[in-house]
Structure 1
Amino acid sequence: MIAIDPGNAQSGYCVIDRNTLRPLEFGKVGNAELLRKLASATEQGWRWAVIEMVASYGMSVGREVFDTVLWIGRFYQALNACCPVRLLCRIEEKQHICHNSRANDAAIRRALIDRFADHDLKNGRGTKKNPDFFYGFKADVWAAYAVGLTAIENRENDYHFSAT
């Protein structure tokens, strides 16, 4: 499955093995490049996808958020033509991984490292000679993995489009 942490110009993605929960492929790329990659979901062998959805918490937002929402729609449309797509809000990740709706990115990352790292218990990445579970992870890839893990382990909390 592929998991996406969308952004207004670039997005993080992570392909995850559903059985082992190991990251197979990941990166942070321009949105147009990711959209081209998503068009080949069938050839890639992805059987389903998850995209982190933007949620409103009562605060005003700027153009970047609206641009991100536009890209979420484009990613959804490209993937939905090939495989089922789930949308999950960030709060679901926080609750699932940290059991706390107020968790921040650092807390989520720490919880992932504590759970999956074998020997690099500080960063979870290891070195080139001795890679650990999250070797090569940067920035938005952590968030993409978190949304993917949440989707795999928690099938209850899908985001649903409004019927109106």
Structure 2
Amino acid sequence: MSSLQIKPVVLAIDPGSTHSALIEWDGERVRSKTLEANQNICNFLHSFNSRLSHHSSTSQHHLVIEQVKLYQTADSNVHDTILWTGRFIESWYRGGNSFNPVLIPRATIKAGLVHSAQATDAQINAYLKDRFGCSTSRKDPHPITGGLSVTIDGKSKSDLWQALALAVYYFDNLNISIPDKIQAKLDT
């Protein structure tokens, strides 16, 4: 009799001061994506484990959040984003989830995907489109990246792209001890 293979699934969050992007990535496709008010993300994380227990799940979910790094004086939006990151982690634990969330700085994600911590969001997006063979046409939505460009209050938001970059980076590095690898980069 064969045993069930547990597949890792990454919940990646690009946090913001009022809204955050969340991508559920299984290494092959985006299972779900949302750009929501932060309280809605907290509610989702808190109830996530109970929703999974009602279904026979062969997935092992990991929560990874883009870590805010301060290199200079920050405005209140950055401080709010840091506070919401803590709320997301609290909601994850209160929901009964057993895997520790992982925080990864944006520079680490950039260096891991395009080998430059100074890469722009446009370069990261181009890398993702190239990696997954995406058309740049809006008329030809790709199954992975289709619908990642959204508008809120008349402003184009790239948060879902950043969440996908985080998910892809983390998933690519699951076979190694990701916290140790990240800590080594932070220590240098």
How far apart in 2 are the matches of 1:3 and 1:72?
A: 12
In the TM superposition, residue 117 of structure 1 has moved relative to its aligned partner by 2.4
Q: Indicate the RMSD between aligned Cα atoms, in angstroms.
A: 2.0
Distance between the aligned counterparts of 2:107 and 2:19, measured in 1?
21
Provide the residue aligned with 1:147 in structure 2: 166
> 1:97·1:108 contact (CA, 8 Å) conserved in 2?
yes
Match of 1:68 among 81, 86, 101: 81
Name the counterpart of 2:97: 82
Match for residue 145 of structure 2 among 128, 134, 139: 134
Matches within 5 A, 1:11-90: 11-18=20-27, 20=28, 22-42=29-49, 43-44=51-52, 47-57=61-71, 59-80=72-93, 81-84=96-99, 85-90=101-106
Greater CA radius of gyration, 1 or 2?
2
Tell me how far apart the structure 1 counterparts of residues 15 and 80 of structure 2 sit (CA, whole Å). 10
Q: How many residue pairs are counted as aligned between the two chains? A: 151
SS at match of 2:33: strand
Cα deviation code 1:120-139 (max 9, x no counterpart): 1x258824xxx442111122
Report the Cα distance in structure 2 between the residues aligned to 1:125 and 1:34, rounded to whole angstroms. 30
Q: Could you state the TM-score of these two structures normalised by the residue count of structure 2?
A: 0.74
**Which is strand-richer, 1 or 2?**
2
Aligned counterparts of 1:33 and 1:125: Cα–Cα separation in 2: 30
Cα distance change, pair 113–124 in 1 and its aligned pair in 2 (3 A): farther
Q: 1:53 to 1:123 in 2, by over 3 A?
A: farther
1:56 offset after TM fit, Å? 1.9
Alpha-carbon distance, 1:158 to partner:
5.3
Unmatched 5+ residue regions in structure 2? 1-9, 150-157
Question: What are the ranges of 5 or more consecutive residues in structure 1 without an aligned counterpart?
Answer: 160-164
1:2 paired with 2:11, answer: yes
In 2: Cα distance, 1:97 partner to 1:123 partner: 23
Instruction: Kindly report which structure 2 residues correspond to 1:110-125, keeping only aligned pairs within 5 A, or say none.
Output: 110-118=126-134, 120=135, 122=136
Summarize the Cα distance change of 1:144–1:158 in structure 2 as closer, same or farther, 3 Å threshold: farther
Q: Percent identity?
A: 28
Pairing 1:94–2:113 present: no
Tell me the amino acid that sits aligned with residue 10 of structure 1: H
SS at match of 2:88: helix
- Matched-pair contact (CA < 8 Å) for 1:125–1:135: no
Letter paired with 2:113: I
